[in-house]
A and B are shown apart, each in its own frame.
Chain A
Amino acid sequence: MKHEQPPIARREFLRGLGVCVALPALPSIARATAAAPAMATTATGAPLRMAFLYVPNGVNVDKWRPTGGGVDYQLGESLASLADFRKHLQFFSGLGHQNGTAGRDGAGDHARASASFLTGARPRKTSGADIHVGTSVDQLAAQHIGGQTRFPSLELSCDSARKSGSCDSGYACAYQYNLAWRSATLPVAAEKNPRLVFERLFGAGDGEARQAALAQRRNARKSILDFVTDDARRLARKAGKADRRKLDEYLTSVREVEQQVEHVEQFGDPKDPQLATPAGIPPAYRDHLRIMFDLLAVAFQTDSTRVATFLLAHDGSNRSFADIGVPDGHHHLSHHGRDEEKLRKIAEIDKFYVEQFAYFLNVMSEKQDVDGRPLLDNSMILYGSGLADGNAHGHHDLPIILAGKGGDTLTPGRYRQAPERTPMSNLYVSMLNRMGVAVDQFGDSDGKIDIG
């Protein structure tokens, strides 16, 4: 294991150059032999990762959808920036979420688009009480394989502000602002501030101070965690059912923090990434997205986690994109009514998001994994939206891209046309299996998708 890499200036970090940072020493191999089956591990023994990236409000389908089929396909116009990665990508048609559709629940397609996206489940329509959807695919994976890394999963978002008042058509806001669901009733909050993401992963301060801070935090925590666990149990004993559920959320969180401490005791402190701590949230959205992608790549490379979700913006987001000449609100535009000008602007926004995705793929392919291969080869990165055409609030035939070779278990470079109305959850089953999670069924799945 080498540590000669010089510290990297923040500017380089921001650019996300494909620098080689200090690498973990093939931990998965060691663990695979110690514990029974190798999970989330590639054939070479390197970690296998999965990430889910969400873009809101659907797309301009005509300019997005590939043409042709199989290996002989042409990229849609909005996806031009992905040209270099053709051989790393799989495109799908026919995948969707029946549980995103109105059914008997009426309006609220944006809430349902987000809530169903990774759960394959129908969110219960409520403004606050009885929130209920389903465990999300990332969290299910984290529950199975999360013990191997310091963080079972990482949740990122670029949404800072939330709208006051009620959310989409009688749905609680939790459905719209969370992708990851630990259980049917418990969303997992995401971190938006790059500095805080970094400090959580690698400690606060610089260099040695970082390491010291981590060690100190750990010792102090154990006895404090015992105390608060005791407190929570005492409260739970006299609490009613709904209150006990809240205390369970608390206790579960305490346990996870304890596991982080134990993990470090077992496997040592995380390797310092030799990077400067990023400043807070950059003013430009593009920079914010990119630094979050940088951090995600570093988290994967240091094997801090193998599972991640990133909400680029919540569904229904009305963000305006003045920087690219689209001052209108995204959500407003998405109801284009076939208006040419609006469709053009939507395609501009689609291009913007895809360019940031291309940036991430670039970072992931320039970073080297423990087995010497590009990080991207040992990953499964899903990029997509819970709506197809925002105008019609379509929940079928979603725009979905799967990037990476999944440790050579995937065969990218294809446009796969699934039968109409194939559950998106089928794809999740196929991905979960590759992560070592032996399930035949997830969400509303009724089979698997051939991605190998």
Chain B
Amino acid sequence: MTSPRDPPSLALPMRRHANLRQRRQSASATPLSMHQFRATVVAAVIGLAIAAVVATATEDQPAGAGAAIPKDLQTRFDAFTTEIEPLLAQYCHDCHGGGASEGGQTLDALDDPQRLLDHDLWHAVWQNLRTEIMPPSDVEGPTDAERQQIVAWIERDVFGLDPLHPDPGHVTLRRLNREEYRYTIRDLLGIKFNTVELFPPDDTGYGFDTVGDALAVSPLLLEKYLKAAQSIFASVLETRAAADDDSSPYQRIFFDGPPPDELPARLDYQREIFRRFAGRAFRRPVDEATIDRLMTLADAAQEDGDLSFEEATGHGVVAILSSPRFLFRDEATSSDDTLGNALRLDDYSLAARLSYMLWSSLPDEQLLELASRGELRDNLHEEVDRLLADERSERFIENFVGQWLQTRDVVGKHIDARFVLRQHSSDLDESRFSRDVRTAMRAETEMFVGHLFSENRSIDELLTADYTFLNEVLARVYGVPGVEGREMRKVDLPADSHRGGILRHGSLLWVTSNPRRTSPVKRGLFILENLLGTPPPPPPPDVPELQEDRRGSTKGATMRQLMAAHRADPLCASCHARMDPLGLALENYTALGTFRADDQGSPIDTSGELITGEAFRNVDDLASIMVHQRRNDFYRCLVERLFTFAIGRGVEYYDAPEIKRMVQRLDQEEGRARWLIYGIVDSVPFQYRRGDEAIQP
């Protein structure tokens, strides 16, 4: 999460705490239970209908910051002085007050009301408190109720958030990325168009290529769009011979076959072709003016170039496929349906948000039909289920999981198999680590996550499953017996398999390694960023990467001994104490993802503890802690990753109330994977646009 200004370090650096931690006697954390979390939230469950009623009374107020601050600054400050400051004095001032300023932050001497407006300061306090990173686990911390009190105070009086009037945020007009373009063309026309070869890679934001702000248009790309549209239409004409096949590309445009001879009938036909095709391509009904312009375009082309009916119509088709209404996700709102200053998206826009989230493509006829009847909102969960049941939902797994868990990178990432195998005197041959096994690694993770959604399993299984998906080549690498053939299938793992859960998937282990060795730092960071949502602040500038593999000079040193250098310098230790132990828990797995009992003869110690204080002996313990004691972080992280992918913007501080609702609901539903999706599609940011920026109908 970031503030609306320059993103600050997401957490206060904690230089001295690393030392404090070493003095700790016992690690007894009292994680916040979901139960207590729930109790403190006011009116947590907002039915949209109820909210809309409330909204009519307050429609003059802007959504988001400011909307819910009825009190002036002085009043807020008085409340702070009596209710919050004593808690800060008790739990924070030892390190952030009285002359001490750990991490460059002080939380005492807050005698100026203006400091309540220091968004960056409170954002950092908020982040560290709610994830229990502060106070450090080895000093006395606030009770859960006190912690919640401070967090709720920041959200209410500093951020100005009002759970009854969530700010949907601003989603910048989204261009289709090259995956979406490819699948949209496939579903629209039945033509396979290779965008990966022909289009430049898309820039990403917040880890995903669905973020509107990062998806630029350049002259090069526009040239490519024009060229693509022409070559796609040429492919359409090539299927003319199969004109009696209703689903042929030709029939999808020339729905009634070749044109009639008489002119008026021809023009009527052309008009209807444009109406149907533009309606599908633009994902909503088109106005007459657009059809008129297309007719003019086709007419002029026909006269100029002595073209056939089909070729002239093709000019219109190319224009449609090059239009910003096709290339961008043009959204409309209904101004008579508001929530505070948020405007509700119309059903066609909602249909497209749903289909692009789960199919990376345009809505099908049923979605458009429901939208046209205004019935989509009443059937949202049913439609999610239907879209997931369709094989096109594989694209969701491919694109969402591919980026979230970086499975997209496995096949292309180079690991020096010969070197790694030789180091570990493995009896495996390097030829085993061909493209086949990397493709299988990718498939393992993607099929596994796909299975959680399709079978609506608990997302806890993401970390704790005792089954996975394998084929013969991958099973050999894992040492799992009895799997034969190329086909990937679900396999129940033997108790001694050392596998299960994505922490032990080849894909994760592979993409987080350096070409010749494991990287506990990268692995730890991966877990923090993508599974716990609590990344450490970036390293201070100009600090070179630590020398982790001077195998030449420190022959025989284990990775753990080498990583100990991180702890020697307090400056490094504060963050590496968060990353390294998590990565070291995976040291039983080589850079190739193979299991090893020892590290070149030295025993491997996988024990450690989280920054929040929970101790673990091995990766099993770690997984268990993540789904139990750190469940709130784990659930919130997954919600936030999917939120970013589906809505197309980064998660902001003002999303906190809506994210909290989704996490709670997910918890109530025992973590069932579909509730991740239901939560997103039901949320205000998915269904609304910010009023002052929304596109008027």
CA distance A247 to B325 in the complex (A): 10
Contact partner, A130, options B213, B323, B530, Cβ 8 Å: B213
Contact partner, B300, options A102, A165, A223, Cβ 8 Å: A223
**A253 / chain B contacts, CB cutoff of 8 Å:** 217-219, 221-222
Q: Does A54 contact B (CB under 8 A)?
A: no
Interface size on B, residues (CB 8 A): 85
Q: Does B579 contact A (CB under 8 A)?
A: no
Comparing A22-30, A192-200, A357-365, A420-428, the segment that makes contact with chain B is: A192-200
Contact partner, A341, options B218, B230, B403, B552, Cβ 8 Å: B552
CA distance A318 to B217 in the complex (A): 28
Contact partner, B223, options A161, A173, A200, Cβ 8 Å: A200
B219-A257 in contact (CB<8A): yes
Could you say which of B214, B325, B327, B550 has the most chain A C-beta atoms within 10 Å of its C-beta?
B214
Taking the closest CB of chain B, its distance from the CB of A60, in whole angstroms, is: 15
Known: A224-B297, A228-B322. A101 touches B541 (CB 8 A): yes
Chain A stretch 210-263: residues in CB contact (< 8 A) with chain B: 217, 219-221, 223-224, 227-228, 230-232, 235, 238-243, 245-247, 249-250, 252-254, 256-257
Contact partner, B538, options A170, A231, A320, A392, Cβ 8 Å: A170
Q: Does B649 contact A (CB under 8 A)?
A: yes
CA distance A392 to B294 in the complex (A): 59
Chain B stretch 494-544: residues in CB contact (< 8 A) with chain A: 514-516, 529-530, 537-542, 544
Contact partner, B216, options A240, A249, A332, Cβ 8 Å: A249
Could you say which of A128, A130, A186, A339 has the most chain B C-beta atoms within 10 Å of its C-beta?
A128
- Chain A interface category by residue count: 35 or more
**B197 / chain A contacts, CB cutoff of 8 Å:** 193, 280
Q: Does A5 contact B (CB under 8 A)?
A: no
Taking the closest CB of chain A, its distance from the CB of B664, in whole angstroms, is: 26
Q: Does A290 contact B (CB under 8 A)?
A: no
Known: A129-B650, A191-B220, A327-B515. A224 touches B322 (CB 8 A): yes
Q: Does A163 contact B (CB under 8 A)?
A: yes
**B2 / chain A contacts, CB cutoff of 8 Å:** 126-127
Comparing A105-113, A293-301, A371-379, the segment that makes contact with chain B is: A105-113
Contact mask B278-307 → A, CB, 8 Å, 1/0?
Answer: 000000000000100110010011001100
Contact partner, A127, options B7, B198, B201, B227, Cβ 8 Å: B7
B213-A131 in contact (CB<8A): yes
B693-A106 in contact (CB<8A): no
CA distance A204 to B220 in the complex (A): 16
Beta-carbon nearest neighbor of A259 in chain B: B219
Could you say which of A109, A131, A191, A220 has the most chain B C-beta atoms within 10 Å of its C-beta?
A220
Q: Does B105 contact A (CB under 8 A)?
A: no
Known: A128-B650, A173-B203. A231 touches B325 (CB 8 A): yes
CA distance A164 to B407 in the complex (A): 8
CA distance A130 to B4 in the complex (A): 10
**B409 / chain A contacts, CB cutoff of 8 Å:** 161, 163-164
Contact partner, B173, options A108, A172, A221, A247, Cβ 8 Å: A247
A242-B173 in contact (CB<8A): yes
Taking the closest CB of chain A, its distance from the CB of B168, in whole angstroms, is: 13
A165-B207 in contact (CB<8A): yes
A174-B214 in contact (CB<8A): yes
Contact partner, B293, options A127, A162, A227, A337, Cβ 8 Å: A227
Chain A stretch 119-147: residues in CB contact (< 8 A) with chain B: 124-131
Contact partner, A125, options B7, B290, B696, Cβ 8 Å: B7
Contact partner, B692, options A178, A189, A240, A243, Cβ 8 Å: A240
B419-A327 in contact (CB<8A): yes
20 contacting pairs across A/B (C-beta < 8 A)? A102-B542, A105-B541, A108-B538, A127-B7, A155-B220, A165-B530, A173-B205, A173-B214, A177-B203, A193-B197, A196-B198, A231-B325, A235-B330, A240-B692, A250-B327, A253-B218, A280-B197, A327-B516, A328-B516, A337-B546
Which residues of A does B touch, CB under 8 Å? 101-102, 105-109, 124-131, 155, 159-167, 169-170, 172-174, 177-178, 182, 186-193, 196, 200, 217, 219-221, 223-224, 227-228, 230-232, 235, 238-243, 245-247, 249-250, 252-254, 256-257, 280, 318, 320, 322, 327-329, 332, 335, 337, 339, 341, 391-393
Q: Which 3 A-B pairs have the closest CB atoms?
A: A128-B205, A102-B541, A240-B693
